[in-house]
Structure 1
Amino acid sequence: MDQISLAVNGRTDIGQVREENEDSIRWHACADKPFAYIVVADGMGGYTGGATASKLAAETIQTHLDNLLKHTFIACSPEQQQLILRATLIDAINNANTALLNTKNRNPQLANMGTTLVVAVMWHNLLIVAHIGDSRAYLWNNYGLQRLTRDHSVVQEMLDSGQISPGQAKQSGVRNHITRALGVSASVEAEINSWKLTENALLLLCSDGLTEYLDDHAIERILATHRPALECVYRFIDDANKLGGRDNISAGILEYASRPLPRMHIEEQNITQRPRSPDVTVRKLQR
Structure 2
Amino acid sequence: MEPIRLAVNGRTDVGRVREANEDSIRCHTDPDHPFAYVIVADGMGGYSGGATASKIAADTLQHHLDSQLDSAFFSCTPEQQQAALHTSLANAIHAANREILNAKSAHPQLAQMGTTLVLAVIWHDFLIVAHLGDSRAYLWNHYGLQRLTRDHSVVQEMIDSGQLTPEQAQESNIRNHITRALGVSDHVEPIINSWKLTENALLLLCSDGLTEYLDDRAIEQVLASHRPALDCVCRFVDDANRLGGRDNISAGVLEFTNRAEARAENLPDAITLRPKKEDITVRREQR
State TM-score, norm by structure 2: 0.90
Q: Counterpart of 1:116?
A: 116
Which digits, 9 at most, give the CA deviation of each residue in 1:179-229, with x for residues without a partner? 000000001000000010111010000000000000000000000000000
What is aligned with 1:163? 163
Structure 1 match to 2:285: none
Cα deviations by residue, 1:32-82 (Å, 9 ceiling, x for unpaired): 100000000000000000000000100000000000000111121111001
* Contact residue 2 and residue 258 of structure 1 kept, 8 A: no
Aligned residues: 263
Structure 2: 5+ residue runs without aligned partners? 265-287
Match of 1:151 in 2: 151
Question: How far apart in 2 are the matches of 1:260 and 1:175?
Answer: 43
Alignment of 1:247 with 2:240, yes or no, is no
The whole-number CA distance in structure 2 between the counterparts of 1:167 and 1:11 is 27
Q: Aligned equivalents of 2:238 and 2:212: distance in 1?
A: 13
Q: Displacement of 1:175 after TM fit?
A: 0.2
Q: 2:253 and 2:170 mapped to 1: Cα distance?
A: 25
Aligned equivalents of 2:256 and 2:143: distance in 1? 15
The residue aligned with 1:272 is none
Give the letter for the 1:145 counterpart: L
Query: Separation in 2 of the partners of 1:28 and 1:192?
Result: 20
SS in 2 for 1:150: coil
C-alpha distance in 2 between matches for 1:240 and 1:51: 20
Q: Helix, strand or coil for the counterpart of 1:128?
A: strand
Local SS of the residue matching 2:87 = helix
2: CA distance, partners of 1:92 / 1:170:
32
Helix, strand or coil: the match of 1:260?
A: helix
Q: Which structure has the larger Rg over C-alpha atoms?
A: 1
Aligned ranges 1:49-68 → 2 under 5 Å = 49-68=49-68
**Normalized against structure 1, the TM-score is what?**
0.90
- State the Cα RMSD in Å: 1.4
Secondary structure of the residue aligned to 2:202 is strand
1:257 and 2:261 matched = no
**Alignment correspondent of 1:128:** 128
Question: Equivalences for 1:1-287 in 2 at 5 Å?
Answer: 3-260=3-260
Q: Percent identity?
A: 71
Aligned to 1:81, what secondary structure does the other structure show?
Answer: helix
Could you tell me how far apart the structure 2 residues matched to 1:260 and 1:253 are?
Answer: 22
Structure 1: 5+ residue stretches without partners: 264-287
Tell me which amino acid in the other structure corresponds to 1:27.
Answer: C
Answer yes or no: is the 8 Å Cα contact 1:141–1:199 preserved in 2.
no
CA deviation profile, 1:103-155 (whole Å, cap 9, x unmatched): 00000000000000001000000000000000000001111110000000000
